[in-house]
Structure formats: C-alpha cells, structure tokens
Chain A
Amino acid sequence: MSAPKAPHKAATPPQAINVAVVGHTNVGKTSLMRTLTRQRGFGAVSIRPATTRHVEMAELSVPGSLPVRLYDTPGLEDSSGLLAYLDDLRTRTGFDWIDAIDRFVAEATDDHHPFAQEAKSLAQVRRSDAALYVVDVRDPVRARHRDELEILGRCAVPVLPVLNFIADPDAQIDHWREQLARVNMHALVAFDTVVYDAAGEAALYDKIAALADRFAAPLARLRDDLAARRAQVRRASAVEVAEMLVDAAGAQAGYALDQRQAQSDAEADLKARVRQREAQCVERLLDLHGFGADDVRLSDFAISHGRWDQDIFDPQTLAQYGVSASKAAATGAGVGVAIDVLAGGMTLGGAAATGAALGFLYDTARTYGGRLQARLRREVRLRVDDATLQGLAARQMQLLAALLKRGHGAIAPAATETLAPGEATVRQLGRQARRARSTPDWSALNRPGGATSGRRRSELVAALADTVEAGLDAAGA
C-alpha cells in the first residue's frame, strides 16, 4: 500500500481525459451527464435515492484530439459514516490519507461492504483526471457536504464544484460560493442541468482545463466544437422557421366565385394545410434539438403530441401574442383568412398578368382537377392574413427559444418563464414573410411536389432566418 495507483500519471501518453461526476445522491449527477452528452436516455433519473448504482462512462469525441470521458457515479450517501470509517482506518494502520483511501477502495469491492457504493465513486475519482462535484444549491451547506468535500479533497484529484438547481427560486448561490471559499474552493461553475446555458457549459470545460491544465488544448477544442454545433443547430432552426413562414405566407386556396358554398371548403382546406405545416415545423424543431414529440412534455408551451393545443386560427391564440386578429367579417372571409384577389369579372388575361398568378392558377387547376379548371375565370383566392402570420412567427420563436434553453437532463416541463419573442421581431417577420405572397410557387403548400427554390426565395428565407436569429439574440437565447 505504498504506491497509490494513479494510471493517468503513468509513462504512456493519456488516451482520454477522464472526468468523474460525483456528489450526494439525488443532486442531479445523472441529469448533468444527460445534458452534457445531449442524451435524453442516458442512465436513469428519479427523485429517489441511489437511482444510479453503477459507474457509467460517456465518451465525448473531440475532433482531432483526445476524447473526454465523463463518468456517472452512484451518490455519496453516507459521507459522515465514510469519513469516520476512513479516520478509523487511518488510526488503525497509520496510513496517510491517500493510502487509506486506496486501501478502502481496494477492500470495499465486496457488495456487502457497508460503503460499497461510496467506494465505487471514490475509485472512479481516483482513476480520473478531475472530478465534478455536483451540489443542489437549494439546500444549505450541511455537515455531510463538508464531509464529502473533505474526502474528495484527499483524493489527490482536482475537484470542481458544479452548482446545480441554480434556476430554482430557492437557490442559495452566494451562500454556496462563500462556504466553498472557506474550504478553499474558489473555482466553481453554476450550471443548471435542466435550464441549459451554453456559456455555463463552456465555463465548465474552461474551468476543468484550468484545474487540469495539461488537457487545456483538447478541452478548449471540445468547447469550440460544442459552440459550433450549437450555432449550426440554431441557424438550422431559424431556417426551419423561415421556411414555414414562407410556405404559410404563400399558401393560397381558390374557389369559383359562383359557388358560394365552395368558400367554406376552400377556407377549411387552406387552414388545414397551414395547421399541418405548423405542426411539421414543431416536429422538425424538436427533432433538430434532439427532443421527441411524445417523450418531451412541453406543457408549458401547450404542445402535446407535437402539436400546439391552441389552434392558430383561434383569435384568442393571437391575442396571447399581442397580435390582434384582422377584421375578418368585413372581408367576408373567416378568421385568419384574407381574400387576396377578387378575380370575378376579370378576364383570365387580366388575372394572369403576372406569371405568378398564372403559376398559381395552373397549380390550383392541377390540385383540384378539372372542376376548377372550367371556372378559372371567376376565381377567388384566399390566403392567410397578416395577424396569423405574426402569430405563427411568435409561436415558433417561443418554442425555439425554449428548446435552446432546455437541457437534455430535463424531464419535467421547464419551470422557467418561457422567453416570449420581442414584438418588433414578430412584426418584422410578418412583414418579410409577406413578400412570399405574390409568388405562390414558393410555397410548398401550393405545390405538392415541393416549392420551387430559386435565388430570390433562398434570399428571402435567409433574410427571415437572420431576423429569427436576431430575435433570439435579443431574447437572450
């Protein structure tokens, strides 16, 4: 028992950076693993003690560098008991701390050992290059925390406290900072595993790098890679929202003027297509962010089974976003729908003065068959009105902002206020999307085979996506 095993200090170059995640039971160690690995399904999480009883490794690949291995460990449940046990062991054997810990770890492999669970955690800490010590800052610092810190401090491995549950109203961050400073722990990270914060995650890796500085380069790479991934997902999400807005803005439905009853059919058809497109956008956003439609309960956004509970064509929905529904009655169309062009009495040549209109009529004819083709001359076109466009923009922005703030450790609906997009952003999105109206060809909702994708459409989508991203910046997401 003279030479403590320390594999990472061996002569062979390190194969990975090993980071153990330790802490009391039920402080969110497994949740932290989930958020850091972006795996909703990692391990098992519950409010009960000793949910995790094994050590599970997750390897994060770092492009062109050493991988970072995170280890989820069982909780340190009885640290006071363990500390007494180790004290006892030291007085019996005369070992110094590190030898006593290594002896304990070697002895306590038997499942019947009273501290077998703690031994697993400590063994992993001893095998690691750094340890993340997770605490629940809703609790005050207690004797057991001091005991845990005492033991971890004797393991000859740098320890970085991770303050979890910082988004909770009961969080006592300053108290924890002060108490940790008293035991000489000045580096710490505040990182909520449920309310994700990209900057907090970057700080986490930076601080590990500061504690284990020979791994600074690969850790910085990991941090940059994660930032790049996030930027990519953010842009892709913004493009997704932009595409939906272009599709919705361009969506049209037509009916023959002399068929009064056709109006309600056309309206229903238009609304159904727009609703479906919105649901598709929700599904794709969830997919992009690694959340499923059904296993994430987004009840704070009133989404169930991948759809918003409230209909976008319900005036009250719009009112929620500060958008007032248009005076639909005056136009003769239903709520959320505007009559675009009244082509009755106009000749086909007049109505088709623009190629766009011709394209639309052609498509409509193709979609609805000969029935309409015969009546092309007396066509009324319906489209989604401005208020609805703004409502669509606001809702997707809100969902997106929430998804960007959602850690993969989250299982319950986020308790935080969801970030509502700024009014100016929503209005600008509505304004920009309107440009897609005169070109029904651009909307996938009018062309069953998919929208045409010319340069001007791409430019509009990019401009809308820019606005979405700027809006997210403004909302701090």
Chain B
Amino acid sequence: MTLTRDRLVAETLAADRDVADPAAGAGREALAAARRHQDVDAKVCAFFAALPQALAARAALRRQIALLRWTVLGGLVLAALAGALAAGRAISGGEREVVNVIWLLGGLLGLHLVALVIWLAVLVAGGDGVARQGLGRGVVWLWRRLAGTVAGDPLNRSARLALMARLFGPPAGRWTVSTGSHGLWTAFLAGGLVSVLLVLATQHLVFVWETTILSAEHYTALIGALAAGPAALGFPVPDAAAVAAAEWRGGAQAARMVADAQGEGAWAGLVVGSLIVYGLAPRLLVGLLTGWLARRAVRRTKLDLTKPAFARLIPDLAPVMQSARVVDASPARLPPAVAASVPAPAPAPPHTPATGSDRRRGLRRAKANAPVAVTGGLPGGHHVAPPAGPVAVLGWEVRTPRTGWPPVVTPGQPPAGGAQDLGIVDGRRALTAAVALIANAPPARLVVVADMTATPDRGTVAGLATLAGAGAGETLVCLTRESVARARLSDEDARQRLADWVAAAHDAGLPLSAVVLLDLDAPGAEDADRAARLFGV
C-alpha cells in the first residue's frame, strides 16, 4: 500500500515541474535518497517521497480518498434505499390479494440479471469498454463533480487527477468501475431483501401463478427449476404438488383454496432464496472478484515512465553512466603536449636549437623559456626566400595532391620546379630510406609537404626531427589541404591547428618560420609565386 501511495504522491507532484527539479536544493537531497533503490520505478517514487512537498501531497490525496469513500458510501445508501423501495412496490404493489410469483421474481431480479449479462458481454467483447459504462461510472462522475467543487488549489487538483488516472484509467479502471457497479447492485439487492423480509414478516401473502395459454406443466417445471438453487442451500421451497395447487383462476374463493394449499413458508423461502441465490450472492461474489482484481491492478501498475514529467528525471535518477573516475592519473611533470596557445600575443621567440636523442623519440622539452605562441597566420608570414641550391621535396603522410606528385604548382612548369622527388613517406621504413637519400646528396632545401587536416602529434615531431637532422641545408614544412581543414574546423580550431603545426616543427628543432601554408589541391594566384620561391622554380 505504501508503494501505491508513493506512486500516487509521485503522480500528484509530477504535475508541477518546479517542484520536481532535481537540480534544486531539495531535489538534490531527494536524488540522493532515490539512488539507493534498484528499480527505476522505486527510484522515482523515492525521489518524490523525499521532496518536502510530499507531505502536502499525501494530505491532499487523503482528502480526495476520503471524499471518494464518502461518495461511494452515499451511493451505496442510495442504492439500498432504491432497492428497498423497488422491492416493496414489487411485492405489495398490486390491488389484488394474491401475488404473482413470476412477476415478483422478475421485478426483483430481472433488471439486475440483464445488467449482469451486459456487463459480462462487454467484458468478453473487448476490455476497456467496461470502464466506460455501468453504475460505477456514475459514482466516478459524482465524485469528480464533488471533488471539482471542493478542490480549489492546484495540489488538490493534481491529487484528484492522479487518483482518477490510477484508479479509473487503464489498466485498473475496468475493474474498479466494475467493482463500483457490483457494489451498487449488491446494495440495491440487499435493500430489496430487507424490504421483502419486512413485508413477509408483517403481511400474509398468497403466492400464485397464472396463465392463459400455457399448460400447468410448464409452470411446475419452471418453478421447480427456479427452486433448485434455493433448495440446494436449504431454503424451504414448494414441492410439485404445492406448485400445481398455486394456479390462480380468479375469485375470492379461489384465493382461499390456494392459500390453504400453501405450505408453511415454502413460497416465502422460494422468494427470499431466489433473491439471495440469483441476486445478492452472484453480485457479491463477482464484486469481490473484480475488487480483488482492481486492487491488484492498482498496486501492480508501475509509473508510466514515458510521461515527460518522469522521463526527464531518469537521466538523473538512473543514469546510463553510473559513475566515473580516473584510474590512471595524468603525468604530473610532463609539459603540455604542444605549448602553443591561440589567444596569446605573438612575439617571435628566439629559436633554441634542440639537441640530443630525446627529440628523436618525440619527447617534448619543457618550454618555459621559449613558449611558442602563434596568433592568426604563420610566424613566417608569406615570405619564403628562394632556395640557396638544389631542392628536394618529400610528402609526409599526405594524399597525392590533385595536381599530382611531385607537386605541380604552375601549369606548364616541371613539377616542383625540377626538385628532387623523395616520394611520399608513410612509415618508418620509408623514412629511413628518405633520410639515407638526403644524407647521400644533401639538398640545400628540403620541403616536407604535410597535411593540415592531420593532428601533429609526437609521432609527427619524431619524424620531422629525423628529417631535420638528415643533413639538408634547411628544412621547410609545406602545409597543404588548408581548404579541407578549414571546411572541417571552426576558425578558431583552424588557427589552433596551425599553431600546433608550428609548435610541432619547433619541437622538431625547426625555426618558427619553417612552416609555410600552400594549398597544393587548390592553389590560388598568389600561391604560384610562393610555390615558385619555395621549390626554386
């Protein structure tokens, strides 16, 4: 029951988004309380139950439930009164001194039996129709009207809506509404029973049957069949002879004769027994059954977590990621990977040549004294001096430019101005081969064509350092594919990428001005000039 109450509290409070804010102070405490539970449904319940507003919600729910109870009670009393009146009229209504037992039983039980059959038919035919029909609906309607006038503040309203949905909406609704109907009918029949007993206790009635076209056998058989039920429960019932004797043919004398033939209480036993066996008992039993089903459904129905008000809490209450922690910490002393930063001003720092095999390994030196800071374009700007002698060109993990390899910059000119082609280097073996070539015949300038879309990392630094130390007079890094990089990166990221390349070149022992931007895929007009100077055309 407490779980059901908690669910109702959750459904009541969920209506107000500000109340159920997991980011607010109280919400955070409630979140901690909810985390202890396993099941998501239980978590959500615990969350709402731990909110300070839960108390008020419970009170509002209690009020609404009390109102519902009173409404049901009122309905039952009214039904009992109506039953008593109807039965009283049926049993003592006529002008005649005798009572037609068939009419009497029909009047007492007919409507109830028809309603019961309809209820069953709707139940069998298709589920939820049951929740929309019958007397139970009337009670719900009445309660809603009453609650609507009583409930002023939003919390009461939410409580009423929550109760409505849980009790009378799917899936419990069909059973609660059915239970209401059966309850009302039970009260109706009980009222009828009381009034029948009262009349039987205080009046002398003569029970008869009559017919114009049917034979007596029909009636003996019919009444015999009807009596079977009550007789089985020990009610006195008229035997076949008594039934045959109770045929009514009219006249005062006949009444006398029939009355004489009636056994003591046998006919009263038949009437009362039928009322119980065909009326009260089945309604009560079905009512208890649906009541049990309703209770079960109400208790078992979990919160509808697809409701936005609940769904939004799930990432907080039951996150996909339960926890996170660092299991192997960052190195404490290693300097930042690339010490370039975008927003810093750009004084060209003095270039300190790096020495030692550390660099070959790609280990970064501490740059406390010589921070590489790049803003905007490249430190070298657009100025590329013509080479002092032969040029060699090498590709570093680049795709073949659209214009071909070695790079063709100016149509009609030889590729890269007749520079020595060292090919595109990818991997250690190719690098070693290229270094051997350079060492054999050191060019005055080595142009390393690299890809701006690539992230320069320690592997890149190690490679550049190896090339820089191979023996060429000077080593320049020509960054290509700028247009692609710019399409992929934001302006700020593109600037950062350039800075990272400059820093990588710097780490490899190259001067800051060694990085030249030249898009070989899409060379612009002024690029031809720069390319001519770079490759020494």
- The A-contacting residues of B in range 421-446, CB under 8 angstroms, are 426-430
Q: Tell me which of B1-9, B273-281, B294-302, B314-322 binds A.
A: B314-322
Nearest-Cβ distance from residue A472 to partner chain B, whole angstroms: 14
The answer to whether B332 and A143 touch across the interface, beta carbons within 8 angstroms, is no
Confirm or deny: B323 has a beta carbon within 8 angstroms of a beta carbon on chain A: yes
- B159 CB to closest chain A CB, in angstroms? 13
Interface residues of A in 330-364 (CB under 8 A from B): none
Interface size (A, Cβ < 8 Å)? 71
Instruction: Specify which of B332, B399, B458, B497 is in contact with A78 (CB 8 Å cutoff).
Output: B458
With contact pairs A75-B457, A77-B457 given, residues A236 and B312 touching in the complex (Cβ less than 8 Å): yes
B456 within 8 Å of A (CB atoms) = yes
A143/B428 in contact, CB under 8 A? yes
Which residue, A56, A67, A412, A458, has most C-beta atoms of chain B within 10 A? A56
B454 contact set on A, CB distance < 8 A: 139
* A144 and B321 contact, Cβ closer than 8 Å, known pairs A84-B428, A114-B362, A450-B154: no
Quick one: closest A residue to B328, CB to CB?
A: A55
B217 at interface by CB-CB < 8 Å: no
Bound CA span A233–B320, Å: 13
B456 close to A49 (CB less than 8 A):
yes
Which B residues are CB-close (under 8 A) to A284?
308, 312
CB contact between B458 and one of A58, A77, A124, A412 (< 8 Å): that residue: A77
B152 to A, closest residue via Cβ: A449
A117 to B154, CA, bound (A): 59
Residue of B307, B333, B458 touching A111 (CB-CB under 8 A): B333
Which residues of the partner chain A approach B201 to less than 8 Å between Cβ atoms?
Answer: none
Interface membership of B327, Cβ < 8 A:
yes
Task: Say which residue of B305, B330, B496 sits within 8 Å of A53 (CB atoms).
Answer: B330
* B321 and A39 contacting across the interface, CB-CB below 8 Å: yes
B103 to chain A, nearest CB (A): 41
* A237 (CB) vs chain B CBs: closest residue: B308
Q: Which one of B325, B358, B430 contacts A143 once the chains associate, using CB atoms below 8 Å?
A: B430
Taking CB atoms, residues of chain A closer than 8 Å to B62 are none
Q: How far is the CA of A49 from the CA of B231 in the complex (A)?
A: 95
Contact flags B446-463 to A (C-beta < 8 A → 1, else 0): 000000011111110010
In the assembled complex, which residues on chain A have CB atoms less than 8 Å from the CB atom of B165?
453
Q: Note all chain A residues with C-beta closer than 8 A to B310.
A: 236
CB-defined contacts of A314 to chain B, threshold 8 Å: none
CA distance A140 to B454 in the complex (A): 11
**Residues of A with C-beta under 8 A to B430:** 143
> Is A232 in contact with B324, judged by CB distance below 8 angstroms?
no
Contact with B154, one of A47, A49, A229, A449 (Cβ below 8 angstroms): A449
Whether the Cβ atoms of B332 and A57 lie closer than 8 Å is no
Interchain CA distance A240-B333 in the complex, whole Å: 51
Within the complex, which residue of B161, B315, B324 is in contact with A58, where a contact is CB–CB below 8 Å?
B324
Chain A neighbourhood of B459, CB < 8 A: 77-81, 144
Would you call B169 an interface residue if the criterion is a C-beta within 8 Å of the partner chain's C-beta atoms? yes
In the docked arrangement, what's the CA distance between A140 and B490, Å? 23
Is B266 an interface position by the 8 A CB rule?
no
Asked whether, in the complex, the Cβ of B500 is within 8 Å of the Cβ of A116, the reply is: no
B328 touches A124 (CB 8 A): yes
> In residues 326-380 of chain B, which contact A (Cβ within 8 Å)?
326-334, 337-338, 358, 361-363
Q: Counting CB contacts under 8 A, is A247 at the interface?
A: no
Q: Point out the residues of chain A lying under 8 angstroms from B527, CB to CB.
A: none
Contact A38 B320, beta carbon cutoff 8 Å:
yes
The CA-CA distance from A239 to B324 in the complex, in Å, is: 32
- The yes or no answer to A173 lying at the interface (CB within 8 A) is no
Of all chain B residues, which has the CB nearest A83?
B428
Contact of B362 among A48, A63, A75, A78 (CB under 8 A): A78
Question: In the assembled complex, which residues on chain A have CB atoms less than 8 Å from the CB atom of B327?
Answer: 55-57, 71, 124
**What is the chain B residue whose CB lies nearest that of A170?**
B484
Contact with B along A284-299 (1 / 0, CB 8 A): 1001101000000000
**Within the assembled complex, what's the spacing in Å between the Cα atoms of A412 and B488?**
11
A288 to chain B, nearest CB (A): 5
- Report if A235 contacts B (CB, 8 A): yes
B324 & A37 in contact (Cβ 8 Å cutoff): yes
Q: In the complex, how many angstroms separate the beta carbon of A275 from the nearest chain B beta carbon?
A: 19
CB distance from B448 to the nearest CB of A (A): 16
Interface assignment of A120: CB less than 8 Å from any CB of chain B:
yes
Q: Are A412 and B307 in contact (CB under 8 A)?
A: no
* Min C-beta distance of B334 to chain A, whole Å: 5
B311 within 8 A of partner (CB)? yes
Give the contacting residue for B428; candidates A71, A80, A226, A450; CB below 8 A. A80
Q: How far is the CA of A38 from the CA of B338 in the complex (A)?
A: 30
CB < 8 Å: which of A49, A84, A114 contacts B500? A49
Distance, CA A455 to CA B174, complexed state (A): 14
CB of A57 within 8 A of CB of B157, answer no
Shortest CB–CB separation between residue A15 and chain B, in angstroms? 13
Q: How far apart are the CA atoms of A170 and B451 in the complex, in Å?
A: 14
Q: Tell yes or no: B29 within 8 A of A by CB.
A: no
- B334 cross-chain contacts in A, Cβ below 8 A: 53, 111-112, 116
Kindly state the separation between the CA atoms of A80 and B426 in the bound complex, as whole angstroms.
10
Q: Determine if B337 and A48 form an interchain contact, defined as CB atoms under 8 angstroms apart.
A: yes
Cα A111 to Cα B212 with chains together (Å): 114
Whether A53 and B331, one on each chain, are in contact in the complex, defined by CB atoms closer than 8 angstroms, is yes
A206 at the interface (CB under 8 A from B): no
Of A25, A54, A59, A458, which one neighbours B328 at CB under 8 angstroms?
A54
Q: How far is the CB of A449 from chain B (nearest CB, A)?
A: 5
Report how far A144 CA is from B356 CA in the complex, Å. 24
Q: Which B252-270 residues have C-beta < 8 A from chain A?
A: none
B15 within 8 A of A: yes
Q: Any chain B CB within 8 A of the CB of A26?
A: yes
B455 to chain A: closest CB distance in Å? 4
Alpha-carbon distance between A259 and B338 when the two chains are bound, in angstroms? 71
Whose C-beta in chain A lies nearest to the C-beta of B15? A450
Pairwise interchain contact A49-B306, C-beta atoms closer than 8 A: no
Which chain B positions have C-beta within 8 A of A77? 362, 457-459
A61: CB under 8 A from chain B? yes
Which residues from B are CB-within-8-Å of A243?
Answer: 308
Residues in B with CB closer than 8 Å to A144 are: 397, 427, 459
Q: With A and B bound together, what is the CA distance between A403 and B115 in angstroms?
A: 52
B225-262 interface code vs A (CB 8 A; 1 in, 0 out): 00000000000000000000000000000000000000
Q: A235 vs B426: C-alpha distance in the bound complex, in angstroms? A: 50
B59 at the interface (CB under 8 A from A): no
Considering only CB atoms, which chain B residue lies closest to A413 in the complex? Answer: B490
Cα distance, A47 to B456, chains bound together (Å): 10
Select one of B38, B312, B329 contacting A287, CB under 8 A: B312
* Chain B residue at smallest Cβ distance from A39: B321
Which of B306, B312, B326, B427 lies in contact with A142, CB distance below 8 A?
Answer: B427
Tell me whether A37 and B321 are in contact in the complex, defined as CB-CB below 8 angstroms, given that A49-B500, A75-B457, A287-B312 are known contacts.
Answer: yes
Query: Are B331 and A116 in contact, CB atoms less than 8 angstroms apart?
Result: yes
A138 on the B face (CB < 8 A): yes
B326 touches A67 (CB 8 A): no
Contacting pair B358 A114 (CB below 8 A):
yes
Q: How far is the CA of A48 from the CA of B504 in the complex (A)?
A: 11
Q: Are A140 and B323 in contact (CB under 8 A)?
A: no
> A residues touching B (Cβ–Cβ < 8 Å)?
24-26, 37-39, 42, 46-50, 53-61, 63, 67, 71, 75, 77-81, 83-84, 111-112, 114-117, 120, 123-124, 138-140, 142-144, 146-147, 168, 170, 226, 229, 232-233, 235-237, 239-240, 243, 284, 287-288, 290, 412, 449-450, 453, 455, 458
4 other A-B residue contacts (CB within 8 Å) besides A42-B321, A142-B427: A55-B326, A58-B321, A117-B458, A232-B306
7 closest A-B pairs by beta carbon, nearest first, are: A143-B427, A236-B311, A50-B337, A55-B328, A114-B361, A111-B331, A37-B321
Q: List 18 A-B contacts (CB under 8 A).
A: A24-B457, A38-B319, A42-B324, A47-B455, A48-B455, A48-B496, A58-B324, A77-B362, A78-B462, A117-B458, A123-B328, A142-B427, A146-B427, A147-B427, A232-B305, A233-B311, A239-B306, A288-B311
Q: Which residues of B contact A (CB under 8 A)?
A: 15, 38, 154, 157, 161, 165, 169, 305-308, 310-312, 314-315, 318-334, 337-338, 358, 361-363, 397, 399, 426-430, 453-459, 462, 484, 488-490, 493, 496-497, 500
